[in-house]
Amino acid sequence: MLLCVGRHGVGAATLRVATTRARRTGGVLRLLHVAETTTPMGLEEAQQCLDPVAEAARSLGGGAVRVEPVLAFGEVLDHVWGAAATAALVVLERPAVVRLGGLRRRTSLTTALVEHLEAPVVVVPGLWPTARVAADGLPPVWHGGREPRTVGVLLDEPAECRQVVGAGLESAAALGGAVELLRGWEVGRAGVVAASRGSSLLVVGRGGRAGGLSVSGRVALHESVCPVLVVPVPPAEEDLATVLPFRRAR
């Protein structure tokens, strides 16, 4: 498993997501930080960023997770693609606050990684779970005063059923929760954001006949207030309309 560590580290919630999934699979958690410069000062700053994350990951792992910090220099995309080639899952943190001048670059970087990595990707909002309230001023959906354990599965075409629903069922079983199926062409942007407020995780497909993220998938990626699991769907996957009673809106 690969966790990408930014220049300001990662949030506690993002680290918890990564270590929990690593413990579940009994694998290795690789922490990748890509620095822009190889100067002594740059190296020191990079180590100061990476070392606390590694220490916290070992503490959260409780000895069940082998943590491997990796410090690289150069282009972020190149190093992430290289490290992700052998990863079963990649965890990214979506910046909580982005200055207007850097919005396009940050958004493009996240989208490029999600749409081109072969492995599944979990994107965790930087302010999660407090972002449930802060996103639009509306309160989160709670069940019995506790954080919801619902996994929302966002479907945009029948061919995504097998991979996306399967990933949703697996995640819900691990959480001890339920699955809610959402048809992207019906719920729209508002429905996707609303579903994220009442879910612990949204699962979306990437690939299939569309070749990338759908419109609703992009909404989930950039506006969801809960983590989003992006599952790659092979382009040659057969049309599995018999899995669920789909009817496209015309």
Q: What are phi and psi of 151, to 5 degrees?
A: -110, 115
For the residues 117-145, what does the mean pLDDT come to?
60
243 found inside a domain:
no
- Domain boundary (95, 125, 155) is at 125
Are both 44 and 94 inside the same structural domain?
Answer: yes
Are both 155 and 92 inside the same structural domain?
Answer: no
Q: What percentage of the chain carries pLDDT values higher than 70?
A: 77
Look at the alpha carbons of 183, 188, 191, 193 in this order and tell me if their dihedral is positive or negative.
positive
Contact status, residue 122 vs residue 228, Cβ threshold 8 Å: yes
Are both 218 and 146 inside the same structural domain?
Answer: yes
77 found inside a domain:
yes
For residues 169 and 210, the model is more confident at 169
For the residues 70-74, what does the mean pLDDT come to?
90
Please state, in angstroms and rounded to a whole number, the distance separating the CA atoms of residues 188 and 208: 20
Point out the least confidently predicted range of 67-71, 122-126, 138-142, 195-199. Answer: 138-142
Q: Is the pLDDT of residue 78 over 70?
A: yes
Are both 16 and 101 inside the same structural domain?
Answer: yes
Are both 43 and 11 inside the same structural domain?
Answer: yes
Q: Is the pLDDT of residue 138 over 60?
A: no
Are both 210 and 136 inside the same structural domain?
Answer: yes
- Which of 165, 218, 172, 231 lies closest to 192, judged by CA? 218
Interacting residues of 19 by C-beta distance below 8 A, sequence separation 6+: 29, 57, 60, 61, 65
Are both 162 and 220 inside the same structural domain?
Answer: yes
Structural domain harbouring 99: 2-108+118-125
Q: Which two tokens stand for residue 24?
A: 């579940």
Q: What is the pLDDT of residue 25?
A: 80
162 found inside a domain:
yes
Are both 163 and 79 inside the same structural domain?
Answer: no
Please state, in angstroms and rounded to a whole number, the distance separating the CA atoms of residues 154 and 220: 9
Are both 101 and 36 inside the same structural domain?
Answer: yes
For residues 175 and 29, the model is more confident at 29
What CATH number should be reported for the domain holding residue 206? 3.40.50
210 found inside a domain:
yes
Contact status, residue 218 vs residue 111, Cβ threshold 8 Å: yes
Q: Is the pLDDT of residue 247 over 60?
A: no
Q: Can you give the length of the chain in residues? A: 250
Domain count, the chain: 2
10 found inside a domain:
yes
Rg (CA), the chain: 18
Are both 13 and 103 inside the same structural domain?
Answer: yes
143's enclosing H/E stretch is none
DSSP E strand stretches across the chain? 2-4, 28-35, 66-73, 90-94, 121-125, 151-155, 179-183, 201-207, 228-233
pLDDT band at 183 (very low <50, low <70, confident <90, very high): confident
Are both 139 and 218 inside the same structural domain?
Answer: yes
Q: Which two tokens stand for residue 202?
A: 């949204």
pLDDT band at 137 (very low <50, low <70, confident <90, very high): very low
Q: What is the pLDDT of residue 120?
A: 92
Q: Is the pLDDT of residue 100 over 60?
A: no
Q: In what order do the strands lie in the sheet with 2-4?
A: 66-73, 28-35, 2-4, 90-94, 121-125, 228-233, 201-207, 151-155, 179-183
- Domain boundary (80, 96, 125) is at 125
Amino acid (1-letter code) at residue 38: T
The reported pTM is 0.80
220 found inside a domain:
yes
Question: In angstroms, how far apart are the furthest CA atoms of the chain?
Answer: 60
Q: What does the pLDDT look like over 197-241, one tens digit per residue? A: 889 999 998 875 555 788 888 899 988 989 999 998 876 544 444
What CATH number should be reported for the domain holding residue 9? 3.40.50.620
For the residues 237-249, what does the mean pLDDT come to?
41
Are both 198 and 157 inside the same structural domain?
Answer: yes
Q: What is the dihedral of CA 171, 175, 176, 178, to 10 degrees?
A: -50
Distances (CA, A) of 219 to 90, 190, 196: 20, 9, 11
Residues linked to residue 212 through DSSP beta bridges, in sequence order? 207
Residues linked to residue 69 through DSSP beta bridges, in sequence order? 31
19 found inside a domain:
yes
246 found inside a domain:
no
- Which of 91, 90, 93, 175 lies closest to 128, judged by CA? 93
